[in-house]
Each structure stands twice: as C-alpha cells, then as structure tokens.
Amino acid sequence: MTYLKVEREEEIVQITINRQDKLNAMNLDVMNEFISLLDDLEKDSSKVIIITGDGPKAFSAGADIEYMSSIGPAEAEKYALCGHEVLNRIEKLEKPVIAAVNGYALGGGCELALSCDIRFASPNAQLGQPEVTLGICPGWGGTQRLLRIIGPARAKDLIFSGRKILAEEAFSMGLINKIFPSESLLAETRAYAKAISKNSSFAIGISKMLVNRGTDTNLDTGLKLEIYSWAVCFSTKDREERMRKFIAKK
C-alpha cells in the first residue's frame, strides 16, 4: 500500500492515511487501497479498527479537489460510488471502527469519520462539510449520516455554511464522542480499542448491526430484530464460556 499505512497490534488494526503533503486528501488511489484493505478486514480475525491521518495537521481534507476540478458528471458518479462503497463497507463492518480525528476532517474526511462507529478527536480537530463553497453538495454520505447523527437543523447549518467547527463544538453536538489532548489521542484511542477488544466480538458485531438498522427502522421492527439477535447469541460457545467464568468466579 502506498497511501494507507496499516499497523497490526494484537487484534487491533490501525490505518493511517498517508498523504501528508495533500493533507491526506483521498484521491482514487487512496480509495482503491481502502477497498482492497476492506476485503481483508471483512474476513480476518482483527477485532477493532482505528482510522487516523498522518501528521499533525489533518485526519483528511476530503476528496481530491485537484482531481475533481477536471472531471465531468460520469467520472464524478464513479468517484461518488467509490466513496460510498468504502464508507458503506466501513459502516457495515462487523467490528467497531474508531476515527481518531487528529486535525482537519473536511468534506470526504468528515464523511469518513461519520461512517465510523466512534469518533475521538484532538482539541485542534476541525470538522466540516465545505462542499457548497466549491459548487457541489456533500457526495460521500454527508447529507444522510450527518442528519442521522446530529439532526437536520444542525446538519443543514454545517452544510449550508460550509463552516469548520472545532472539536469542542463538534462534541457539544454529539459529533465527537470524546476529546483527548493531541499528544495522547492515539494512545487513548488504542487503549479504548484494547479494552473493547476483550469483549465478545460476536456480541459487539451484532449490537453494531442492531444500532445501525435501528436508525432506519421503526421501533417495533428494531425491537423484534433485537429479540432474535439476542437469542442467536445463546448459540455461541463464547457466550457459554463467558457466563460459566462469571458463575465460577462467584
């Protein structure tokens, strides 16, 4: 991989977007590397994924403006489809994905963070959807995921104004789960990843699916799906062992 640095430590995989000279903007090469990495992550035994950006300045400054400046609708559609494939697959991955937002997360960079399950940030992180300043609307899921995470009024404010918000404001909107000092953001994210990796991967995967499906379904359907998913958990050896250990400790 040229643009994605992949580090594995125990069952935790850290992906660093490595295009610092362009503030980790995601051109087609970056997105294609994500696609082949996801082919592995969907099958391997990793338990938690962390995504961050290289360098002190940016998580990702978004889709590649230089590339977009010279394309028409047909190529734009392909670029959007590619972005959607990556972000949908991250969202549907049956393991937690945490964004460690270490600076600018703009446009596609913000959308990438939105597709993750948890977002941690450093105080200097700046998030936003500045697409309208470039004559386009968000194209990698921003309108839909922002709406679902922070609600329509706040989503429209960010999208219509294109303004960048600091981590503190993003936290107050529920866009960021927690803020850590810049120097400890990655260590804290890894510690959190390690802690959740001790829990049942099966139960976490199924919980992720239930919460994701719950955002787009009615309460009754979501609750029914939870009942059946809960029952399925009782078919695993992992559940048996974890409960047996709890009883044995007593």
Of 10 and 77, the one with the shorter C-beta distance to ligand COA is 77
CA distance 63 to 83: 9
Nearer to ligand COA, 90 or 110 (CB): 110
**Binds ligand COA by CB under 6 A, chosen from 66, 69, 74, 234:** 66
Total Cβ atoms within 10 A of residue 81 = 12
Contact segment (CB under 6 A) with ligand COA among 60-68, 72-80, 152-160, 211-219 equals 60-68
Figure out which of the listed residues 4, 13, 17, 25 binds ligand COA, where binding follows CB under 6 A: 25
131 is catalytic: yes
Distances in Å between the Cα of 149 and the Cα atoms of 71, 144, 229 are 31, 9, 24
Q: Which stretch binds ligand COA (CB under 6 A): 43-51, 77-85, 100-108, 232-240?
A: 100-108
Complex with ligand COA: residue 13 or 25, whichever CB lies closer? 25
Q: Among 62, 96, 141, 142, indicate the residue that binds ligand COA (CB under 6 A).
A: 62
Phi/psi at 122 (nearest 5 deg)? -90, 160
Verify binding: residue 12, ligand COA, rule CB under 6 A: no
Please identify which of the residues 131, 168, 169, 240 carries the catalytic annotation.
Answer: 131
> Smaller CB distance to ligand COA: residue 99 or 204?
99
Asked if 137 touches ligand COA (CB under 6 A), the answer is no
Nearer to ligand COA, 76 or 149 (CB): 76
Contact with ligand COA (CB under 6 A): which of 23, 50, 146, 158? Answer: 23
Which one from 33, 85, 91, 111 is the annotated catalytic residue? Answer: 111
**86 and 34 Cβ atoms separated by less than 8 Å:** yes
Please give the size of the binding site for ligand COA, defined by CB under 6 A.
Answer: 15
- Binding-site ranges for ligand COA (CB under 6 A): 22-23, 25, 61-66, 104, 106-107, 130-131, 134
Catalytic residues: 111, 131
